[in-house]
Amino acid sequence: GFNKPFSPGTLGAELIGQALISDIFKDKTGIEKALGLELGLEMAKKIVLLHDKLFFDGSSLGSFKDMPNGYIPHLITGVEKDGRLNLEVSDKTSSLTDYAYLAWGLGEYLKICPPNIKAQVMNVGKAIFSSIKDRHYDGEMGTLIDVHYGKKSSRISISNAALSIVGLASLYDGIT
């Protein structure tokens, strides 16, 4: 059966790439327009997955609406059971890298997304920002931290700091 782990950061990185390349298909016709529409559909599916399935309350995955104080865990595994694909948390930690890529991807997508899902994308973006603030900002140190293991660690890498700046700036630009 199917048993494949994925990181939400990968989902964010895919959104970045898809949003940035989508400009190629703007104002095209025929097969190129169809490819652009397919790309748009793939991005919308990622937003629905994020919004409806990837928020974690410490014991189960669910929707942002049902778990407004939840967070997106570092590693999720798709497991096939009885012909259905179920999502299970394989690593409960909260990773700044994941959130930075998600923020960046959502920010880029917000610049091009259809108006009918913009509010949903903005809600997920605001939840991402809140999770970064609540789980990864250390007020005493005045900096972001890499990993939250149920309590804040004290490490920040230069690459995560830089990636977070780019991601948060993109999210801010997309929301405003």
Put simply, whether the predicted model's pTM sits higher than 0.85 gets the answer yes
* Residue-wise pLDDT tens digits, 58-85: 999 999 999 988 999 999 999 888 888 8
Euclidean distance between CA atoms 74 and 96, whole angstroms: 9
The DSSP string of 44-99 is HHHHHHHHHH-EE-SS-EE-TTT-TT-B--SEEEEEEETTEEEEEEEE--EEHHHH
Q: Which of 170, 22, 31 is nearest to 99 (CA)?
A: 170
* Residue-wise pLDDT tens digits, 116-139: 889 999 999 999 999 999 999 988
